[in-house]
Amino acid sequence: MASDTKTAGGNGGRVGRRLLSTAAIFAGALLGSLAILHGYTALPLLLAALLLGVVTLLSFRLIRSEAGWTAPL
């Protein structure tokens, strides 16, 4: 992600995708740790699968919007 920044010589594009991936990492860590602390040991795997699906759909939508059209969901 850092290699795309203008400071590192990249073009600085795809800011939305970088922010989305950072938010997904944080949300997954937070939800997984809370579930394990409350005794739901299988729940983090389910949450990770659901989060992966949501992030995939949002990333696909961001890619399509950068290409000039938005994909219907």
**pLDDT tens, 21-57?**
889 889 878 888 888 999 988 888 887 788 789 989 9
Two tokens, residue 17: 């995708």
Q: How far is CA 29 from the centre of its chain?
A: 12
Q: How far is CA 48 from the centre of its chain?
A: 11
The more confidently predicted of residues 31 and 68 is: 31
